[in-house]
């Protein structure tokens, strides 16, 4: 589809609702840049774990703040997976940041104000010229409040858990459905109740419920919304 204006598309929602899959497909179809902002929070979390800045499951906020200037996150396109890999200080950490130990800590790291401040600034810099699809929790509310299109992706809880389990199994991680559900519930709670930019559905976001839609149907629906948004802007 030819778009005259390269708009900004914010895709928010809870974990494992299909946000990234939809955002990635949308970006590919439009020839836009796709940024998985959750990967950036995961990258900071991995750094903190490696530097022992999380003690007994508690992030050492003061120490983490002092370390932030040493954390350099970049994305590089990976031809094989047709998406961008996250690099932490020059090291490809795309696989490591998806592991359950990082997933178990990331929501806590994402509550830290200085971490959010750093990453929001970097996300805005990446998206300053439009032509971007960014997925996360605060993209429509904080990162790009003026985005021409804001999507809020939802899915039934059991579908989310099954998708997450399958995703992990494809990466060689064997985990029970109960463990997956517990992690998703814990993350939902932390993400939506934290003081700093909690996950909310902003008024001007359009909901896409992926429970009963195939990937193709989700993409078609999103593309229609893009066309309408591009015409309005």
Based on the shown chain and the rule CB under 6 A, indicate whether residue 46 belongs to the binding site for ligand DC.
Answer: no
Q: List the strands of the sheet with 83-88, edge to edge.
A: 73-78, 83-88, 91-92
Task: Pick the binder of ligand DC from 37, 84, 183, 210 (CB under 6 A).
Answer: 37
Least spacing, CB of residue 4 vs ligand DC, in Å: 28
List beta partners, residue 166: none
Give the whole-angstrom CA distance, residue 190 versus residue 5.
Answer: 36
Site residues (CB under 6 A) for ligand DC, limited to 63-92: none
In terms of Cβ atoms closer than 10 Å to its own Cβ (0-12, 13-18, 19+), residue 150 is buried
Based on the shown chain and the rule CB under 6 A, indicate whether residue 59 belongs to the binding site for ligand DC.
Answer: no
Q: Which is nearer to ligand DC, 32 or 197 (CB)?
A: 197
Based on the shown chain and the rule CB under 6 A, indicate whether residue 94 belongs to the binding site for ligand DC.
Answer: no
Mapping DSSP to helix (H, G, I), strand (E, B) and coil, where does residue 69 land?
A: helix
Contacts of 68 (CB under 8 A, 6+ apart): 44, 114, 115, 118
Based on the shown chain and the rule CB under 6 A, indicate whether residue 38 belongs to the binding site for ligand DC.
Answer: yes
User: Using CB under 6 A as the criterion, what x/- string covers residues 122-151 for binding ligand DC?
Assistant: --------------xxxx------------
Contact residues toward ligand DC (CB under 6 A) are: 15, 37-38, 41-42, 106-107, 110, 136-139, 187, 191
């Amino acid at each position: 589809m030819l778009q005259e204006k390269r708009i900004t598309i914010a895709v928010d929602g809870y974990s494992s609702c299909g946000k990234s899959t939809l955002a990635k497909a949308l970006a590919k179809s439009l020839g836009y840049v796709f940024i998985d902002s959750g990967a950036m929070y995961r990258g900071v979390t991995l750094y903190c774990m490696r530097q022992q800045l999380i003690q007994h499951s508690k992030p050492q906020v003061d120490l983490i703040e002092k370390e932030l200037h040493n954390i350099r996150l970049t994305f590089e396109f990976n031809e094989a997976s047709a998406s961008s890999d996250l690099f932490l200080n020059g090291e490809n950490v795309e696989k490591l940041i998806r592991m359950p130990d990082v997933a178990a800590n990331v929501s806590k790291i994402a509550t830290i104000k200085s971490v959010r401040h750093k990453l929001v600034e970097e996300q805005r810099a990446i998206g300053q010229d439009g032509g971007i699809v960014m997925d996360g929790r605060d993209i429509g509310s904080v990162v790009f409040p003026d985005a021409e299109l804001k999507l809020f992706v939802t899915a039934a809880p059991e579908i989310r858990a099954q998708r997450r389990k399958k995703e992990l199994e494809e990466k060689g991680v064997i985990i029970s459905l109960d463990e997956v559900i517990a992690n998703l519930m814990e993350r939902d709670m932390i993400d939506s109740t934290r003081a700093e930019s909690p996950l909310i559905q902003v008024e001007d976001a359009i909901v896409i419920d992926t429970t009963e839609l195939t990937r193709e149907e989700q993409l078609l629906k999103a593309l229609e919304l893009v066309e309408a948004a591009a015409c309005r802007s």
